[in-house]
A and B are shown apart, each in its own frame.
Chain A
Amino acid sequence: MNFKFHHKRITGMLAVLPAREASFIDEMRNFNFPVSRSLKLKEVMGYDKHRLVEPGVCVSDLAVHGLQRLFDAGLLQPSEIDALLLVTQCPDYFMPPTSNIIQGRLNLKQDMLCLDINQGCAGFVIGLLQAFLLLEQECIRKVVLVNADVMSRKTSTKDRNSYPLIGDAASITIVERDAEDSLIHANLRMDGTRNEALMIPAGGFRLPSSAETAVLEDVGDNNFRGKDHLRMDGSAVFNFVQVEVPPMVEDLLALAGKRHEDVDYYAFHQPNKFMLQKLADKMKIPYAKMPMNVVERFGNSSGVTIPLAIVSNLAGQVTKERLFMCLAGFGVGLTWSSMLMPLGQLNFCEIVDYT
């Protein structure tokens, strides 16, 4: 489905990264593979450093840290927040919603909307869509979109398919009405028949966590994980992305009457360097226009990777000029979504560490 929005803009972005940095080289010995193959994997996929929370750190901890930082710096007033959207797959609890926990910890006003959205790698685009819809209401003038995940806590350290690329992070994006028209186009598709490609099998009501679901199983290819852990069918996800994402983006460009030359940067979800290079090749996008370094510097933090790609690569530009951006998220659900939007003259665009 296709969306069109007017008079909306992002006015600030902050990424929150756990201070603890792990390196693939140190972790290779956890994997039951020849060192030469692991080094090849590192080179091809772009694995290097990734940021991981300390045990016990939750999504609300990262979010509260980042929001408090904005309050302290005078970049955001608590009373201005009319809606707090939290996109996460790692809630503090099943109930209450983690967005309410954040609201409570920061003593935000009662006259506001708190909403958790369960989404992953497409979660930034989905969150923006929701923010834009809310801003159609007069009573909502400022939406705070928080993307946050601490998926390392649900990833087996002995699963080379997932662990080296996972990163924990949060981002805070301020979305407001814009006096300028700022036409934004977006499209979205979902396919629940392929929901098993990315999942955590146990821990919900269908299969509660137990001693049995915690047991590490040999899942083939020398990888070990439990049913409590993230399961990612890497090659199926690769097929999905290569087949679905390029036509989606081409459709959106056609819909908006734009050409690739009109796009300054492609801020895509960051699954790994390999997949992004293949996408760029297929769509004939110059690598210089598509940041691909988030996984090697920070890890893949699902819905946080698009803001992280922008904040860590384009901060100097988006605080000054207005860029024309193409965003694309794709992953769990399965869900794939893209967006064409002007982005720039941000009030802030930075990274803080969480310690």
Chain B
Amino acid sequence: MNDFCVKLADILDVAEVKESDLLTGFSTWDSLSVLSIIAMLDSKYGLNVTAADLRNVGTVGDLWNLIQRKQRA
């Protein structure tokens, strides 16, 4: 998860992200970040996640759980 957090922080242009952080709480949470996350999940985890999937995600931890769920599916 550490690697994932580093990548997410990079996309969101912040020093670090914590599991409890709300995604919509970042000032850089916009369509560009959403697209960058979709691309990152595709290239690093081989997952096809949609913007609609991400709309239902609350926190950084929730996003990590979504990845785990999708990888098991």
Answer whether residue A207 sits at the interface, using C-beta atoms and an 8 A cutoff: no
Residue-wise interface mask of A (159-190) relative to B, using a CB-CB cutoff of 8 A (1 in contact, 0 not): 01100000000000000000000000000000
Decide: A274 near B39, CB < 8 A? Known: A37-B28, A40-B13.
Answer: yes
Complex Cα gap A238–B31 (Å): 12
Number of interface residues of B (CB under 8 A): 16
Contact partners of B13 in chain A: CB under 8 A: 36, 40
Complex contacts, B68 vs chain A, CB 8 Å: none
Q: Which residues of chain A from 272 to 318 have a CB within 8 Å of any chain B CB?
A: 274, 278, 281-282
A235 touches B43 (CB 8 A): no
CB distance from A33 to the nearest CB of B (A): 7
Q: A44 with B36: in contact, given A234-B31, A235-B31 (CB under 8 Å)?
A: yes
Decide: B32 and A40 in contact? CB cutoff 8 A: yes
**A238-B39 contact in complex given A40-B13, A243-B48, C-beta closer than 8 Å:** yes
Interface centre among A160, A234, A239, A243 (most CB of B within 10 A): A239
For the complex formed, measure the closest distance between the CB of A196 and the CB atoms of chain B, giving whole angstroms.
13
Mark interface residues in B22-62 (1 if CB within 8 Å of A CB, else 0): 00000110111011101100110000101100000000000
Complex Cα gap A40–B27 (Å):
14
Contact with B along A219-237 (1 / 0, CB 8 A): 0011000000000001110
Nearest A-chain residue to B13, judged by Cβ = A40
Quick check: A37 and B32 within 8 Å, CB to CB?
yes
**What residue of chain B has the Cβ atom nearest to residue A235's Cβ?**
B51
A315 to B36 alpha-carbon distance, docked (Å): 33
Which B residue's beta carbon lies closest to that of A277? B39
Q: Among B28, B31, B43, B50, which residue has its beta carbon within 8 angstroms of that of A278?
A: B43
Give chain A residues whose Cβ lies under 8 Å from the Cβ of B27. 34
Give me 12 A-to-B residue pairs in the complex whose CB atoms sit less than 8 angstroms apart, sorted by A's number.
Answer: A37-B30, A37-B32, A40-B13, A160-B31, A221-B30, A222-B30, A235-B34, A235-B38, A239-B38, A239-B48, A242-B48, A243-B48
**Which residues does A use to contact B, with CB under 8 Å?**
33-34, 36-37, 40-41, 44-45, 160-161, 221-222, 234-236, 238-239, 242-243, 274, 278, 281-282
